[in-house]
Structure 1
Amino acid sequence: MGCDGGTIPKRHELVKGPKKVEKVDKNAELAAKWKYCALSQEKLRRPIVSCELGRLYNKDAVIEYLLDKSADRPNAEAVTHIRGTKDIKELNLTDNPVWEGERRNTKGDRYEDIHCGMFICPVVGLEMNGRHRFCYLHSCGCVFSDRALKEVKTEICHKCGDPFQDSDVVVLNGTKEDVEKLREKMEQRRVKAKAKKSKKSKAAESVSTSSEPKDDTQVMVAQNGEGQSGNESSQSVTDAAGPSGSSKGSMASSSSLSASKRSIQEMEEKSEAFKSLFTTHSSAKRTKDQISNWVTHTPYHF
């Protein structure tokens, strides 16, 4: 039995069988991880940052997410562990000299290498396209291939020279096992950070509480000292005064005031040159002829 035109259909065209499982294109999967932002799905462009789980983001997209977490985003689950800018690290990447940009094959007359990466390892020269294992240092943000760290074993960064530890190595776009290990490290770091903050807060509280009683005791001691000195002085005055202490005290105060108000011109121990410096000296006084009919701002100027 044929169809129009005399064609003979086959069995698989007439009988519907089980659906085939669609396989994910590996090239497309690698390009999505290594060439596009994990949050906004836009092409990666500098500045590029990474979280503690090794995912790549555009810094602008992460900052927009942190400013407005209520906005609907398709891949918001990939950044739920990011609480602030301290949870991300800006990557220090090395450009690939072979990379010619996005519009290198506009005419379509040349071969386009899909696996050509924008960045390379500065030590070995491997391209960061997903075929090779890459990682970055959480201390400085420099990116290297895993092969470079294994072949050249050192505790100093190959690019910037900063020291690092094994716990600072974060795998970029790792497997599920790598992500689980990185998540455990992230939780441990956060627990340590909370413990440090609690210790600092407790130390500050202890310092403040220890300083407060000291101040109070110092104030009390000072007050007691002042009170004792005042009492001693009052007792000495009363003892010296005796029954007629009030009259003698008033006489002493009046004599001290009179001594302080004594004119300099009456002091015999002072010389005439010293006395002439003051306006109370006879040379500073004007006669009737020298007195003018009008008053100036400086009456002693003539």
Structure 2
Amino acid sequence: MGCDGGTIPKRHELVKGPKKVEKVDKNAELVAQWNYCTLSQEILRRPIVACELGRLYNKDAIIEFLLDKSSEKALGKAASHIKSIKNVTELRLSDNPAWEGDKGNTKGDKHDDLQRARFICPVVGLEMNGRHRFCFLRCCGCVFSERALKEIKAEVCHTCGAAFQEDDVIVLNGTKEDVETLKRRMEGRRLRSKLGKKTKKPKVAESLSKSDVSEAPGPSKMKTGKPEETSLDSQEKKTTLPPRSAAAQGSSSGKAGKPPCGAMKRSIADSGESEAYKSLFTTHSSAKRSKEESAHWVTHTSYCF
């Protein structure tokens, strides 16, 4: 069988086989990672920030993402781990003096060198084009190559002199293994920060309660004078003064005939007063006489006087 024009088709032209997997160009992938924002897919421009997983972003794109977290944005998955602006670090990048940018090829008649990068390592001088591993410090944001970190071993930043630890070193655009280790570190840091906030809350409550107790008015101060003399005078007054009667207590309370608040009622007959004092009240035995012994116009109560 032949087609028009006498051509004979081959088998691979008529039978559809399995599709070949398209291979991603490594150079194009490196250019996309190191020259474009991971969130907005725009060219990186200062101020440039990096997350705890080592991805590069434009700072304005991160701010817009935090202000408007709509589910329609598919690119938001790349920054789903960023909860606040504190989760990113602004980078201190060193410009490459040999980089011309778009000025060198305005007419399109020159070859664009993809190996030429905008930034370099300030210690070794390697270009940040993806061919070499770069890292930054969370404490200060300085960026330098991993070779400089290995060759010049120090506990202080090579550019600004800030002290750092191993946990502060984050690899930029690392491999899958690097991203997994960075993710574990990120989760551990956030868990420790949550536990630290929970422990600070009871401490703040205790300090507030202590301040309230210290500001509360204390007991009244005693009068100036020798403590021995005051104690002797109080003892003499207790021995010399007679006990207060129930009537006196009632009058001092402000309402006659009513005991003070909290006082217990007791009869005069049970009190330790003299018989002459008890005979003034109707509850005394001398006041309880028969009608024959006392006349109708004579009274023995104190209410008529």
TM-score between the two structures when normalised by the length of structure 2: 0.70
Which structure 2 residues correspond to residues 281-296 of structure 1 after superposition, within 5 A?
Answer: none
Q: Distance in 2 between matches of 1:43 and 1:168?
A: 27
175-184 vs 58-67, greater mean Cα deviation: 175-184
Q: Distance in 2 between matches of 1:113 and 1:66?
A: 36
Matched, 1:21 2:17: no
Structure 2 residue matching 1:170: 3-state secondary structure: strand
Determine which structure has the larger helix proportion and give its number. Answer: 1
Q: CA deviation at 1:105?
A: 1.7
Q: Distance in 2 between matches of 1:220 and 1:136?
A: 58
Q: CA deviation at 1:33?
A: 1.1
Provide the residue aligned with 1:116 in structure 2: 116
Provide the residue aligned with 2:50 in structure 1: 50
Which structure 2 residues correspond to residues 211-222 of structure 1 after superposition, within 5 A?
Answer: 211-216=211-216, 219-221=217-219
Provide the residue aligned with 2:252 in structure 1: none
Which structure 2 residues correspond to residues 1-302 of structure 1 after superposition, within 5 A?
Answer: 1-70=1-70, 72-216=72-216, 219-221=217-219, 224-225=220-221
Q: Distance in 1 between matches of 2:144 and 2:48?
A: 15
Q: Distance in 2 between matches of 1:127 and 1:2?
A: 58
Q: CA deviation at 1:103?
A: 4.5
Q: CA deviation at 1:79?
A: 1.0
Q: CA deviation at 1:32?
A: 1.5
In structure 1, give the amino acid aligned to 2:87.
D
> What are the ranges of 5 or more consecutive residues in structure 2 without an aligned counterpart?
225-229, 231-305
Point out the structure with max Rg over C-alpha.
2
Q: CA deviation at 1:181?
A: 0.8
Superimposed CA distance per residue, residues 121-141 of structure 1 (whole angstroms, 9 cap, x where no aligned partner): 111111111111110011100
Q: Distance in 1 between matches of 2:116 and 2:63?
A: 29
In structure 1, give the amino acid aligned to 2:62.
V
Q: Distance in 2 between matches of 1:78 and 1:15?
A: 40
132-141 vs 5-14, greater mean Cα deviation: 5-14
Identity, in percent, stands at: 62
Q: Distance in 2 between matches of 1:145 and 1:167?
A: 17
TM-score between the two structures when normalised by the length of structure 1: 0.70
11-20 vs 57-66, greater mean Cα deviation: 11-20
User: For the aligned residues, what is the CA RMSD?
Assistant: 2.1
Superimposed CA distance per residue, residues 191-210 of structure 1 (whole angstroms, 9 cap, x where no aligned partner): 22223323332221111112
Provide the residue aligned with 1:248 in structure 2: none
Structure 1 residue matching 2:221: 3-state secondary structure: helix
Q: CA deviation at 1:74?
A: 2.5
Q: CA deviation at 1:71?
A: 5.9
> What are the ranges of 5 or more consecutive residues in structure 1 without an aligned counterpart?
233-302
Structure 2 residue matching 1:75: 3-state secondary structure: helix
Q: Distance in 1 between matches of 2:34 and 2:46?
A: 13
